[in-house]
Amino acid sequence: MDVEILNNLVETEAAVAVYFSAPHCGVCHALRPKVEELFSENFPAVKFIHVEIDKSPGISGELGVFSAPTLLVFFEGKEFLRKVRLMGIQELQEKIERPYKILF
């Protein structure tokens, strides 16, 4: 995936979540399935995208993501949430729930 494709998705989809990970990041790999499950079960209308920082440095640079894991959530083309490194599933759910219900 490149920057233009991602930017197009953010602009055209009502909601997009982008999860950034790094190849040798244990936390990234342990957290990713939990974050994906949160979105698929509780926020199914959000398009979930996984980006590996080492394979897509252009996207990381464009969005200012320099550490992993990082989660960016966009609603209607605007960045709503940015969580870097430490993120709890319950906390994510609470922060996303209200705007999600308003939008959908």
- Could you say which of 6, 10, 18, 28 is catalytic? 28
Contact 77, 43 (CB under 8 A): no
Q: For 82, which DSSP code?
A: E
Q: Which of 25, 38, 46, 49 is catalytic?
A: 25
User: Peptide bond preceding 69: is omega within 30 degrees of 0, i.e. cis?
Assistant: yes
Q: Is 25 a catalytic residue?
A: yes
Active site includes 4?
Answer: no
Q: Which residues, including other chains, have CB under 8 Å from residue 51's CB and lie 6 or more apart?
A: 1, 6, 18, 19, 20, 21, 59, 60
Closest CA to 60 of 84, 43, 78: 84
Residues annotated as part of the active site: 25, 28
